[in-house]
Amino acid sequence: MARLRVEGLHVKVGGREVLRGVNLEVGEGEVVYLLGPNGAGKSTLIYTVVGWEGYVVERGGILFDSRRIEGLPPEERAKLGVAAGFQTPPELEGVRVGVLLRMLVERFWGVSSLEALKLVSNFISMVGLPSSVLEREYNVGFSGGERKKLEMVKVLAMRPKIALLDEPDSGVDVDSLRGIGEAIRYLREELGTGVLVVTHLARLCRFVKPDRAYVMLGGRIVKSGGPELVKMIEEKGYSAVRG
């Protein structure tokens, strides 16, 4: 049974229809790639699933463990087990990385403060961030790569059932990519998280093999398939799936 099921989803942003009937599923412990050119609606899908302001569901629904969640506030969706790694997360001035992550781990993992600190430092080293990052203000003065890695740590800290990762591989070097791949593997294998990875570069494949893949164009899923679909897009580009 699918953990996350998106059914005939139509979404407007600023009065403009961006998603035009998206159907998609992610199951427990699955890694699913969502491919597509810029402007296809991939990020819109993520923002809509987490419940961000301004993403208006016109038709269709989002089901989490068979429960409709499109009417819930973002914090309720997070508590159910939906987490997202955003492309350009904001800076939180004065909020220390260590403090915020520890709070998350305490809540989502149900462990003591001390245990939480241990887990946080494990996650930090898993993605290849130095432990000194814990003392810094959240995302303040972080490079693009550092932000991507911190987003991954945040997702791990939330112990999600579904993780939606928006281009975790763009703007990061090969070493960082390895750490991010490691985190995705941990989600899938250790936590049984269903992971939807938005990407338009397939280089992440070297570190995490997808179970399935979707291709999105113009606000619709135009093709779905197995790992071979990723290979095909990599070789032939999106023209291969354009109608």
Partner 1 sequence: MRVREILGISRSDIEELSRKRGEPEWVTRRRLEAYDALEKLPPDPAVDEYVRSLDVESILAGTTPVEVDSELWELAVKRLGVKPEELQQLTGYSVTVDNRTIEVQLRALRERGVILAPMDEAVKKYSIVKDYMFRIMRPDTRLAAYHIMLWAGGVFVYVPEGVKLPNPLYGVFLITGEGLKQTEHTLIIVEDNASLTWVEGCTAPVKAKYSVHLGGLEAWVGRRARLDLYSVENWAGPVHHRPVKRMIVEEGGVLNATPIAFGGETILVEEAARLVGRGASAKLQSVALLTEKRWSESRLEVVHEAPGGKSEILSRVVVKDEAFDRFRGKLVAKRGAKGSVGRMSCNTLLLSEKAVSETIPALEVEDNDVEFSHEASVGRLSTEKLYYLRTMGFAEDEAASLLVQGFFEPIFTALPFDLAVEARKIVELALKGH
Any contact of residue 94 with partner 1 (CB under 8 A)?
A: yes
Any contact of residue 97 with partner 1 (CB under 8 A)?
A: no
Any contact of residue 141 with partner 1 (CB under 8 A)?
A: no
Please pick, from the candidates 8, 39, 71, 90, the single residue that binds partner 1 as defined by CB under 8 A: 90
Any contact of residue 62 with partner 1 (CB under 8 A)?
A: no
Any contact of residue 192 with partner 1 (CB under 8 A)?
A: no
Please pick, from the candidates 10, 59, 107, 220, the single residue that binds partner 1 as defined by CB under 8 A: 107
Please pick, from the candidates 10, 12, 59, 96, the single residue that binds partner 1 as defined by CB under 8 A: 96
Any contact of residue 64 with partner 1 (CB under 8 A)?
A: no
Compute the least distance from the CB of residue 103 to partner 1, in Å: 8
Cα distance between residue 41 and residue 17, in whole Å: 10
Tokens of 186: 């941990």
Query: What are the DSSP E strand ranges found in the chain?
Result: 2-13, 16-27, 31-35, 55-64, 67-68, 82-85, 92-96, 137-138, 162-166, 194-198, 212-217, 220-225
Cβ burial, residue 123 (10 Å; 0-12/13-18/19+): buried
Phi, psi of 88 (to 5 degrees): -130, 75
Residues near partner 1 (CB under 8 A), total: 27
Any contact of residue 175 with partner 1 (CB under 8 A)?
A: no
Any contact of residue 52 with partner 1 (CB under 8 A)?
A: yes
Tokens of 124: 């930090």
Tokens of 212: 């399935």
99 vs 240, beta carbon nearer partner 1: 99
Q: Looking at 59-67, 79-87, 172-180, 227-235, which segment touches partner 1 (CB under 8 A)? A: 79-87
* Nearest CA among 126, 168, 130, 163 for reference residue 147: 168
**Other C-beta atoms within 10 Å of 91: how many?**
13
Contact residues: partner 1, CB under 8 A: 50-53, 73-75, 77-79, 83-84, 86, 89-90, 92-96, 100, 104, 107-108, 137, 154, 158
